[in-house]
């Protein structure tokens, strides 16, 4: 058993050294001096401190001042940072299920990354560091946003429903430092049950099984969706898995129907913030054009090679409605310019170098694109 003395609290309002002045008085107290004289050691195994409201550089400077004071009195016990934190409010819900981080969230994530890595690399006298805290909490009216997550239906306290949602970007940073192998993107070894019901892809180090495997096989497989890029994980209590070109979502309320597995709204998310002008419907005075179809729901046309691909590979149920017309766009993967069209769940790309082949139209690598952000792990 270890006894940790504390906790010291850095108080910026009262002065930077008040907590150290107090500790010096403890060292000088007759009780502590008598104890050291009798036992040859201090009556604690470590000293606890809460260095709040300091940027990373000042946090380390304050801890070094504490260590210098310990050294002055011959105290070799370790330092425990039993609380350190940074508040950050998460964004509002998005219909795509993917939420861009707020500025506070980005600052929280960067603060955690810098403080934890620098404490690890530059302060060998630090024994333990505890983040305050795991989940947001509150008084029933408003949240105190110090957590790495919120807990679904927790009503501002630890609830019976402990599913973390939303996770904040700092959660991903924390996990990448503490248990990087637990991130959904981390490659896994070949499973012992690999076979017809469980596929393993050494190209990405990920598995595919169950309803997601059946859906992948039934709706185009590698050519349509690409390789799996994560293991299955949960977003707002729903099982999801990312692929190079899509995100699969499992909807148990539709078990046994064609909608048991659905594609996430990656097209909608990637095109967020862009305004695509609605097109007027075709004139009723003109004969129907069999090579073009109009969608009044979004005010967009679908024609030519994109129309053929959409119809031959699942149509509305797979890709959703078109949300843009055809436009030229630079592909973020290869830097080349292609004719593209956005749909709720996909981006079609026309590849003229493959004209006349099954690769003439390809789905954009939206899964990869979303995984490159700090928004996917919610």
pLDDT in tens, 300-347: 999 999 999 999 999 999 999 999 999 999 988 888 899 999 999 999
Average pLDDT, the chain: 92
Span 173-218, pLDDT tens digits: 999 999 999 999 999 999 998 888 999 999 999 999 999 999 999 9
pLDDT surpassing 60 at residue 154 = no
Say what percent of the chain tops pLDDT 90: 78
> Is residue 236's pLDDT more than 70?
yes
Do 47 and 135 lie in a common domain? yes
Indicate whether 114 belongs to any domain. Answer: yes
Is there a single domain that holds both residue 99 and residue 127?
yes
Q: Is residue 190 part of a domain?
A: no
Report DSSP letters for 215-267, one per residue.
HHHHTTHHHHH-SB-S--EEETTEEEEEBSS-EEEE-GGGTTSTTSEEE--HH
* Domain end marker among 155, 182, 209: 182
CA proximity to 128, closest of 32, 46, 212, 196 = 46
Per-residue pLDDT of 45-80, as tens digits, reads 999 999 998 999 999 999 999 999 999 999 999 999
157 and 10 within one domain: yes
Cα separation, 173 vs 169, in Å, equals 7
pTM over 0.75: yes
Does position 15 have pLDDT exceeding 70, yes or no? no
Report the C-alpha gap between 365 and 154 in whole angstroms: 36
CB–CB of 58/52 below 8 Å?
no
Whether residue 239 contacts residue 249, with contact meaning beta carbons closer than 8 Å, is answered with: yes
Share of the chain above pLDDT 70, in %: 95
- The residues near 77 (Cβ < 8 Å, ≥ 6 apart) are 42, 44, 45, 46, 47, 70
Lowest mean pLDDT segment, chosen from 137-141, 179-183, 295-299:
137-141
Q: According to the model, what pLDDT value does residue 316 have?
A: 96
Residue 16 forms part of a structural domain: yes
pLDDT band at 139 (very low <50, low <70, confident <90, very high): low
State whether 176 and 238 are in the same domain. no
Range of the domain at 241: 198-264
Q: Is residue 76 part of a domain?
A: yes
Specify whether 22 is located in the same domain as 127.
yes
SS3 category, 11: strand
Whether 227 and 90 map to the same domain: the answer is no
Residue at 273 is within a domain: no
Judge whether 279 lies within some domain: no
The answer to whether the beta carbons of residues 64 and 22 sit under 8 Å apart is no
pLDDT for the residue numbered 142: 74
Instruction: At 149, list the tokens.
Output: 């997550």
Whether residues 175 and 110 fall in one domain: yes
C-alpha span between 326 and 319 (Å, rounded)? 15
Domain count, the chain: 3
Same domain, 13 and 64: yes
Give yes or no for a contact between 371 and 242, defined as CB atoms under 8 angstroms apart. yes
Q: Which of 182, 208, 232 is the last residue of a domain?
A: 182
| pLDDT classification of 4: cutoffs 50, 70, 90 | confident
Residue 365 in any domain: the answer is yes
Q: Are 203 and 170 within one domain?
A: no
Query: What per-residue confidence (pLDDT) applies to 237?
Result: 84
């Amino acid at each position: 058993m270890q006894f940790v003395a504390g906790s010291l609290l850095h108080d910026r309002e009262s002065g930077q050294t008040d907590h150290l002045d107090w500790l010096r008085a403890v060292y000088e107290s007759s009780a502590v001096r008598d104890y050291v004289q009798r036992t040859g050691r201090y009556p604690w195994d470590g000293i606890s401190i809460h260095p709040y409201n300091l940027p990373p550089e000042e946090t380390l400077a304050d801890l070094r001042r504490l260590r210098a004071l310990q050294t002055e009195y011959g105290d070799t016990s370790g330092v425990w940072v039993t609380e350190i934190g940074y508040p950050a409010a998460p964004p509002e819900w998005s219909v795509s299920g993917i939420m861009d981080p707020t500025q506070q969230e980005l600052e929280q994530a960067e603060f955690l990354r810098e403080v934890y890595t620098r404490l690890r690399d530059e302060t060998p006298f630090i024994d333990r560091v505890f983040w305050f805290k795991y989940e947001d909490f509150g008084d029933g009216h408003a949240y105190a946003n110090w957590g790495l997550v919120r807990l679904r239906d927790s009503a501002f306290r630890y609830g019976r429903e402990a599913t973390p949602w939303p996770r904040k970007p700092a959660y991903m940073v924390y996990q990448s430092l503490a248990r990087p192998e637990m991130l959904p993107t981390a490659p896994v070894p070949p499973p012992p049950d690999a076979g017809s019901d469980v596929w393993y892809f050494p190209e990405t180090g990920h598995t595919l099984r169950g309803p997601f495997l059946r859906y992948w096989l039934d709706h185009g497989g590698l050519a349509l969706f690409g390789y799996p890029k994560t293991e299955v994980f949960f977003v707002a209590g729903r099982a999801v898995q990312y692929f190079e070109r899509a995100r699969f979502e499992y909807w148990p309320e539709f078990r046994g129907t064609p909608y048991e597995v659905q594609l996430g709204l990656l097209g909608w998310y990637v095109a967020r913030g862009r305004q695509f002008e609605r097109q007027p419907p075709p004139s009723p005075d003109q004969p129907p054009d069999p090579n073009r179809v109009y969608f009044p729901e979004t005010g967009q046309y679908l024609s030519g090679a994109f129309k053929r691909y959409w119809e031959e590979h699942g149509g509305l149920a797979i890709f959703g409605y078109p949300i843009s017309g055809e436009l030229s766009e630079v592909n973020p993967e290869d830097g080349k310019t292609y004719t593209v069209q956005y749909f709720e769940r996909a981006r079609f790309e026309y590849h003229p170098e493959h004209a006349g082949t099954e690769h003439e139209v390809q789905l954009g690598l939206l899964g990869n694109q979303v995984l490159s952000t700090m928004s996917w792990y919610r």
